[in-house]
Structure 1
């Protein structure tokens, strides 16, 4: 196990009706005027939630201004607009009401509001340090990205069609209000995408060159098994509180850093999806699910013992130590069938991928200091193109 430092400063407030107490938590963290950031009045449940939030702020005497219009794969232009509103209006707190896109947008606004330079080129491309952001709080409405307590913000530049991230400890939200009931009305596709993203987060922490992490291996296995168990239940019975609760907490734990301590994460699949999502504006969870299948097929021979353990422990494939490669292939097939069962594509062409774009997609994927993508797989552009081809096969 590698040396590590870990902290998570986010306060979690979990359970039914907790969103009605939001004003108290804003005040706890010094908020007096709030930028209320959300999707907008997109469906009846959202209308009621925003009305409840506004009522709570009014009753507590907390002033607020609104910024709506967040889209999946949140856009830089809206973030820069939000940062200007924060400065012009003197907001000292940002409240994100929504899922990963709203939260990532809010984190970007928070950083940009206190930064005088070129946000995209300095922070997202250059990965420069930046001043402490404006505090952010969250009312979570989906279980997926884990952005409610993570250090990251992933944003799409709609002009360049690039999707990049910032990742600093100071980005963590001050609090996350998590009421699983708020996820009841999510469309089934969005629920499935969220579950796939959770599995991807746990899987990419699992595939590490440091194998002496038994405890964190078990944590990641538990997250994957939890999603495998409860996601079909939530899709069949959207108001099953037990299923929604377990999925929501699994999503948070998979991405707030604790499951990756003592190891180097293998983030190749997410790095590839960022470029794909930026170019085609496709669903993130569907992208990592599809690319994950291709990555497994292409990379499993790099560490057969680790892949064997992954599929026997996290996916419950029958062990056969005399035929480990066959076990792995059965595991990949099982995972692929699971995606089909929950309604996600296993062919990346369904997400817009075109043969003529593969070189751009491969070259644009984020790299490590050695110029390759992934800490276990060390992928070149040629490797990434080969993985895309595996994701474009007839299944």
Structure 2
């Protein structure tokens, strides 16, 4: 196992009817900006419950954070934060709202070009402070409610922002707030959590026995619970399990001290930016092809994944690995998520634009070993096409 530091300061408030506790969780003298996306939080009454929970505090609302939050939209929120002297941010929504709120927190006090915050990849940007933030999660998928990361869309690309100051102070996870989600969003969330786990697990052996067994537990749980919660969206126990699985997939624990990949995410980001393909769908398209092209690099962990997650023990090594890749694709498709790029209306001639976008955004040395260059990325995308 590699050396690591692990700290996660986020207070999780999990369970039914917890929004009434906001009055105890948010500082009494805070001036709060509540940030959200479209009309669903209003339509289903979540926003009213949040505002009631905040009591007599001064509250400023900011609506309209889109899926894949846009830099220009977030700058509008930042201008209001500065003008109104907001000192606490509360995200109410899914991963995009949470990610956008983290960027607002990072940029509100930044003395410089806010776009510079997006130019540091997975290294912390040079911010010296951030506004305190918290979340009310309404979509189980990204794990943003319990980590220090965000992804922001800017000038045709998607850019990660990572900094310890961006951990939410607390996150309210009430599974019942997710009952009204459309099935496609639930399915995308299951895939997102699944691939988050894979990116930290199917890499290189590192003797991270606790991390591996935890990752395998999350994967097997998602395989079990994904179809159940899709078929019965108001099954509280099933949805509660999904919510906690999604949070656990990316709160830093299973990635501590072990290699991480993120190739699937980096290529998937370009599919979303170029063609508007949902994030979860982009991952379902790319993941099987990454493994097909990287079978030798990931040989040991793919065999481990085949046996421990899918109970595949028959056949030679290649047969078991191929069976595990096929099972993964079948799982995604069983959720209603298509796994071929051609099924999303993308033309084969547009593969060049995907590879060009990867080059433009510096994605030229991907994978846990840093040796996945543009030529291999092209092969992965071509394989994922049809």
User: Does the TM-score normalized on the shorter chain lie above 0.5?
Assistant: yes
Identify the residue that residue 336 of structure 1 maps to in structure 2.
329
Alpha-carbon distance in 1 for matches of 2:104, 2:375: 36
Structure 1 Cα separation of the partners of residues 269 and 70 of structure 2: 13
CA apart distance, 1:45: 4.9
Cα deviation code 1:327-380 (max 9, x no counterpart): 111111111111111100111233454433323423433899995111147211
Give the aligned partner of residue 289 of structure 1: 284
What's the counterpart of residue 7 of structure 2?
Answer: 7
Question: Which residue in the other structure is 1:243 paired with?
Answer: 238
Residues 358 and 370 of structure 1: CA distance in aligned 2, closer, same or farther (over 3 Å): closer
1:156 and 2:153 equivalent?
A: yes
CA distance in 1, matches of 2:151, 2:42: 28
Displacement of 1:114 in angstroms is: 1.1
Equivalent in the alignment of 2:131: 134
Equivalent residue pairs, number: 383
- Is 2:355 aligned against 1:362? yes
Q: Structure 1: which 5+ runs fail to align?
A: none
- Worse overlay, 370-379 or 360-369: 360-369
| Unmatched segments (≥5 aa) in structure 2 | none
Contact 1:70–1:78 (Cα < 8 Å) also in 2: yes
Aligned counterpart for 2:248 among listed residues 253, 270, 273? 253
CA contact (8 A) 1:73 1:281 kept: no
- Pairing 1:229–2:227 present: no
Q: Name the stretch that deviates more: 206-215 or 353-362.
A: 353-362
Separation in 2, partners of 1:182, 1:126: 34
SS at match of 1:142: coil
Query: What does 1:4-83 align with in structure 2 at a 5 Å threshold?
Result: 4-27=4-27, 32-42=30-40, 45-46=43-44, 48-57=45-54, 60-83=55-78
Aligned ranges for residues 104-143 of structure 1 at < 5 Å?
Answer: 104-120=99-115, 122-126=116-120, 128-143=125-140
Equivalent position SS for 2:254: helix
| 1:233–1:390 Cα change, 3 Å | same
Partner of 1:350: 343
1:384 aligned residue: 377
Q: Deviation of residue 22 (structure 1)?
A: 1.3
- The two structures, once aligned, show a CA RMSD in angstroms of 2.0
Distance 1:153 1:240, change over 3 A: same
SS in 2 for 1:84: helix
- Structure 1 residue 297 displacement after superposition: 1.4
Cα–Cα, structure 1 residues 95 and 124, in superposed 2: closer, same or farther, change >3 Å? same
- Give the CA deviation at 1:289: 1.5
Q: CA separation in 2, counterparts of 1:54 and 1:113?
A: 23
> 3-state DSSP class of the match of 2:40?
coil
Give the direction of change, closer, same or farther, for the CA distance of 1:276–1:370 in structure 2 (3 Å limit): closer
Name the CA shift for 1:104/1:370 in 2 (closer, same or farther; >3 Å).
Answer: closer
TM-score when normalising by structure 1: 0.92
Is the Cα contact below 8 Å between 1:366 and 1:373 reproduced in 2?
A: no
Q: Distance in 1 between matches of 2:128 and 2:382?
A: 42
Using the alignment, how far apart are the partners of 1:150 and 1:349 within structure 2? 34
Equivalent residues of 1:230, 1:247 under 8 A apart:
yes
Q: 1:150-195: CA deviations, max 9, x gaps?
A: 11110112xx211111111111111000000011111101000000
Kept in 2: contact 1:38–1:102 (CA 8 A): yes
Task: Identify which range, 208-217 or 237-246, moves more after superposition.
Answer: 208-217
Equivalent in 206, 209, 212 of residue 204 of structure 2: 209
* Match for residue 169 of structure 2 among 174, 185, 196: 174
Q: Does the CA contact (< 8 Å) of 1:39 and 1:71 recur in 2?
A: yes
Q: Which residue of structure 2 aligns with residue 95 of structure 1? A: 90
2:300 aligned to 288, 298, 305, which one? Answer: 305
Q: In the superposition, relative to structure 1, how do residues 45 and 224 fare at CA in structure 2: closer, same or farther (>3 Å)?
A: farther
